[in-house]
Chain A
Amino acid sequence: MLYREAGQFKTNYVDDQAVFPIRQDRIGIAVILAVAFVGIPLFGSDFFISAVMVPLLVFSLAAIGLNILTGYTGLLSLGTGGFMGVGAFACYKLTTIFPDVNIIIWILVSGFFSCGIGILFGLPSLRIKGFYLAVATLSAQFFLDWAFVRIPWLVNNNTSGAIEVPSRYLFGMPITGPMAQPEVRYLVVLSIVALLTLIASNLVHGRIGRSWMAVRDMDLAAELIGIRLYRTKLLAFAVSSYYCGVAGALMVFLWYGSAEPAVFGIDQSFFILFMVIIGGLGSLVGSFFGAALIYGMPIILKAIVGLVGLQISPATVEHLTFMAVGGLIILFLIIEPAGLARLWQVGKQKLRVWPFPY
């Protein structure tokens, strides 16, 4: 009833092509942004902000990155963890070499390093597709993994072999390091993620996004209508790796505060890939849904156990969470194989005609 577009007439093409053509959607996104930017920092507990929201946003950004490559362009990649690592290590090197430059600039710049590596490992995509490409990106993952562990220069020869995040400030406020308040870190992450999501949204809705999707749907046909494959595919690799790189830098600098190379292992790549598949291939909002489900579900399950006051040992909870999350993933995939984003879309569609479906 409330969600109805009757009476909203579009009188020009710009309105018709808008990302959110329905007024209720625009109001919805404004409310979400208001809650995210104002409500959560004001009312969220430290645990909720730094152990739930910050990781969720970081994973969402990484999922958007992978979604651009796998969901929009149809190129399967298993190197996400490695590309995130490149961003994190690049950011660490940059901020230790040039400590006076603002860390936010370095976080955004570090994405370009991972962008370069992504293009390099994306080259095989010009000749191979599908599983073969997955294997090629897997080699990227293994190579990068090896490099992070074996090149001590990357961590400034720290004996622990880990990135130790130094304190960095913005307007005199610490945003990285131990003194940084969770709210401050959260707002920085949120701003970067919101900005990059906006850019991604514009990319995928425009000419570039359409050419990606054309390549995904049938590369031969795309070539015939004049899309240059190598450019399009490499651009997808570049943009995707940029997003993953920034996500990696955010992860280490604004969430972990210190990271061993093991963080960027193959597990991480699969973790992000699951988010994209569960969330919905080729959907930005799906990336957020996927991150929320895969990362958030175990935390919610644990919290429910705590809330109900069940006397279950933490180890059992851990086992149960594993099983429950696995079960839920299968359940969601049975209900909607195209992911949560499709579920969301179907729900909205039904809502539009509710209560008089025809």
Chain B
Amino acid sequence: MLGLRNIKTTMIAAALVAGTVATSPPATAQESIYVPLFTYRTGPFSGSGIYIAEGMRDYLEMLNQRDGGIGGVKLALEECETGYDTKKGLECYEAVKDKKPVVINPWSTGITLPLIPRAAVDKVPVLSMAYGLSAAAIGDTFPWIFNPPATYWDGASMILNYIGEKEGGIDKLKGKTIGYIYLDAGFGKEPIPLLEQLAKDYGYTLKLYPVAATEMQNQSSQWLNVRRDRPDYMIMYGWGALQPTAVKEAVKINYPMDKFVSIWWASEDDAAAGGPQSKGFKVLNWHAVGDNLPAIADIKKHVTDKNLTQTDKSHIGKVLYNRGIYNSMLIAEGIRNAQKLSGKKVITGEDMRRGLETLNIDAARYKEMGLEGFAGPVKLTCADHNGHFATYMQEWDGSKYVKVSGDLKASMDKVSPLMNAAAKEYTEKAGSWPKRTEACDKAS
């Protein structure tokens, strides 16, 4: 017994020592660009996260297989599982930081927020594509943060504009009640100041229905309130298990689905959760759905058919899978731009920042990439790291999403003042916020 106990103690000690030794990161190959991908294929947000992870990885893997990387340099891809948990996300960040990543995609507003001040210090740009801090769109204040193609505030404004259009004029919003159901975290709270301001401007009444992350699968109390308040429209900012549950509950209380509008994160699965009655459910989007694009054909040919990925083939072309592709397309274009600007093949985070800042993807470039008509042009400047580009509304027809609107633009006259004020407030609260010292490049 004695010996056994001692051996066990020694084993624990040995394991702990092994752990400390193992923490020194393995060196990455010289001739590659290190792109860590923060993903979540586990946990309550995996319902959304798996699509994104697959799309993001497959596109970059396809570039590796088809073109040998970007500019002749392979991309060293590494996934880090965050589970949408801020704690694990920060652990991932610390783990990848030493390997000189060119860009970080946190894929969580909660993880983005602590990274915003660190980006400038660690010289690693953060690409929070259409999420994160809306005010980070101001490049002069946040030179290291990029959040194209639209912010959450833009999204809220677009949804209201769409509702206004449907009602026959934005002034028709007066006297209406608009319900807002959201994930009660940094992400869902983000548009509330704007919605409140616009409630004053447009004259609608705003009702808030927060859903805690732990209560995502149990929203009966929120929807009981919705049934009582009978809002004319419902706006949803959800993610993960929140969305299918909300759709189900809305169907259950017979809420008119065509008046239920979501920000751009709802997937096919989320809409289908409500069964045939969820027809009419609306979601913002800014890129094509479906797999009818040469680049996606290449993904199939070079990646999925060769079993170089764990992607479920039925996921290809789904809205969130394509969202992942869009995210990776921005990374790839940023790297390409950075190589051009710096003249180097293996770029650093600083080069990547310049590359993203001069991002200019027009229709011709989309065609070159095999993504013709995939999404609208993206052009960023030093002052504007977002672009506030137009999106469109898509409607669930029972089996797929169909486009039901033209270009929806945010009312920048309403959004801009709030955004500037928020950026100012953010920097003031941070104590000493560094002035932008990074030079501005001419667009290539």
CB within 8 Å of B: which residues of A?
45-48, 50-52, 96, 99, 149, 156, 158-162, 164, 166-168, 177-179, 255-260, 262-263, 265-267, 292, 296, 299-300, 303-304, 306-307, 313-315, 317-319, 335, 340, 343-344, 346-347, 350-351, 354, 357
Contact = CB atoms under 8 A, between A and B. Distances in A.
B81 A315 contact: yes
B193 interface: yes
B440 interface: no
A343 B42 CA distance: 34
B94 A47 contact: yes
Given A47-B98, A260-B110, A346-B5, A160 B431 contact: no
A256 B429 contact: no
Contacts of B95: 47, 51
- Give the contact-size bracket for chain B: 35 or more
A256 B111 CA distance: 10
A51 B113 contact: no
Interface stretch (B11-19, B66-74, B273-281, B375-383): B11-19
Interface string B92-103: 001101100000
A293 B359 CA distance: 46
B120 interface: yes
A159 B214 contact: no
B190 A160 contact: yes
A3 B298 CA distance: 67
Query: Closest 10 interchain pairs by CB?
Result: A300-B19, A315-B41, A303-B22, A166-B431, A258-B114, A178-B117, A51-B94, A314-B81, A160-B186, A167-B431
Nearest to A301: B19
A19 to B, nearest CB: 21
A160 B133 CA distance: 8
Interface of B: 2, 5-6, 8-9, 12, 15-16, 18-20, 22-26, 39, 41-42, 79-81, 83, 86-87, 90-91, 94-95, 97-98, 109-110, 113-114, 117-118, 120-122, 133, 184-186, 189-190, 192-193, 210, 212-214, 310, 422, 426, 429-432
Nearest to B4: A335
Contacts of B5: 343, 346-347, 350
Contacts of A335: 8
Contacts, number: 153
A296 B6 contact: no
A153 to B, nearest CB: 14
B303 to A, nearest CB: 15
Contacts of A266: 214
Contacts of A256: 86-87, 90, 114
Contacts of B24: 45, 48
B98 A177 contact: no
B82 to A, nearest CB: 9
11 contacts: A164-B429, A167-B431, A177-B117, A178-B118, A178-B120, A255-B90, A256-B114, A257-B114, A318-B83, A340-B12, A350-B6
Given A48-B23, A299-B91, A260 B186 contact: yes
Given A307-B22, A344-B9, A45 B186 contact: no
Contacts of A350: 2, 5-6
A50 B94 contact: yes
A135 B23 CA distance: 40
A2 B346 CA distance: 55
Contacts of B26: 306-307
A266 B213 CA distance: 12
B86 A45 contact: no
Given A47-B98, A156-B429, A343-B9, A162 B16 contact: no
Nearest to B134: A159
Contacts of A318: 41-42, 81, 83
Given A47-B95, A263-B86, A257 B117 contact: yes
Contacts of A262: 86, 110, 185, 212-213
A184 to B, nearest CB: 13
B22 A166 contact: no
Contacts of A158: 429
A354 B210 CA distance: 62
A161 B192 CA distance: 11
Nearest to B3: A350
Contacts of A99: 431
Contact of B189 (A45, A159, A259, A306): A159
Given A159-B190, A167-B430, A260-B86, A347 B23 contact: no
A318 B87 CA distance: 14
A251 to B, nearest CB: 9
Given A160-B133, A313-B79, A315-B42, A47 B25 contact: yes
Given A47-B97, A262-B110, A313-B79, A164 B190 contact: no
Contacts of A178: 117-118, 120-122
Nearest to A355: B2
B192 A300 contact: no
Contact of B118 (A168, A257, A299): A257
Nearest to B43: A318
Nearest to A45: B24
B432 A167 contact: yes
Nearest to B37: A314
Nearest to B17: A300
Contacts of A52: 19-20, 23
Contacts of A347: 5-6, 9
Contact of B80 (A46, A166, A314): A314
